[in-house]
Copies of this chain bind each other. A is one copy, B any other.
Amino acid sequence: MSFTFITAGESHGPSLTIIVTGMPAGVRLDRERMNCDLARRQHGYGRGGRMKIEHDEIEIVGGVRGGETLGSPVAVSIRNADFANWAGAMSVWDVDEAEATKRRVHAPRPGHVDLIGGMKYARRDLRDVLERASARETASRVAAGALAKELLRAFGIEIRSGVVSVGDAGDPEAAVTWEELCAVDEESPLRAVHRAHEPAMIAAVDRARELGETLGGTIVAAAHGVPIGLGSYVQWNEKLDGRLAQAILSIHAVKAMAIGDGVAASRRVGSEVHDAIFFD
């Protein structure tokens, strides 16, 4: 059975729940390393205030014994540290009417799925929609990804990423080396690949914040040590590019993805295109 995962849980509900299937037996897990991934998600210049409240932690409740996977599905729970303040409005069984009214969302927010979700699932309080549609769901994916990375690590495969542009600062088409990605400073405000661009990026975030705006940007991610032959050309839904694309473009607010040279490749002749694969 291939590695996959499924997630559940509302943003202000009691917890997020993740079940990962297809994890082989005998993989040793490092709790600290996995929690670091969750912490990195909560870090970043310009993030909302909520990130200061939560300190997400992976709680494994199935599929692992003594730090080693058993071959059975791995169940992960991430408790909502702020649930006490939401229990009245978000209780599974006994919602407090006054609390629920206070938290009620009448007006669908532009750029969100509030209106569509309310229509599709017949919800009058749009909180019923936005609680699940919230980007907090990405914490579940980070947990699943952290498990995947423990497995990859056993094969010497590493994943790295960094930010190359924010608004008009930086260069969205920057050529990036593996060494540059490894050198990204985890403690830096924006995890910029090119530190020289970071002050301009921070200024761009500050300007957007003053305007009450959000701001786009570009991330580069790469894998190192990947063996030949992942994915397959034999069937459309086994192609690695397509599977990566689904994973990435299903993340909230991600609106474009490129493999290798990607966007720039559209302007080039074949011999000048750099593929996603480098042989050192």
Contacts and interface: CB of A to CB of B under 8 A. Distances in A.
7 contacts: A6-B21, A10-B72, A67-B93, A72-B235, A132-B234, A213-B271, A255-B261
A16 interface: yes
A47 to B, nearest CB: 15
Interface of A: 1-2, 6-10, 13-17, 19, 21, 25-26, 31, 60-67, 70-75, 77, 90-95, 100, 111, 113, 115-117, 119-123, 128-129, 131-133, 137, 141, 165, 167-168, 172, 208, 211, 213-218, 228-229, 232-239, 241-250, 254-263, 265-271, 273, 275
Which 3 pairs across A and B sit closest by C-beta, in order of nearness? A242-B250, A256-B258, A66-B95
Contacts of A137: 236
A263 to B, nearest CB: 5
Contacts of A167: 267-269
Which of A141, A215, A216 is packed against the most chain B CB atoms within 10 Å?
A216
A70 B226 CA distance: 24
A92 B113 contact: no
A236 to B, nearest CB: 5
Q: Please tell me how many copies of the chain the complex holds.
A: 4
A19 B8 contact: yes
Given A165-B266, A165-B267, A255-B261, A242 B247 contact: yes
Nearest to A25: B121
A83 to B, nearest CB: 10
Contacts of A247: 236, 242
Contacts of A270: 111, 208, 213-215
Contacts of A133: 233
B74 A8 contact: yes
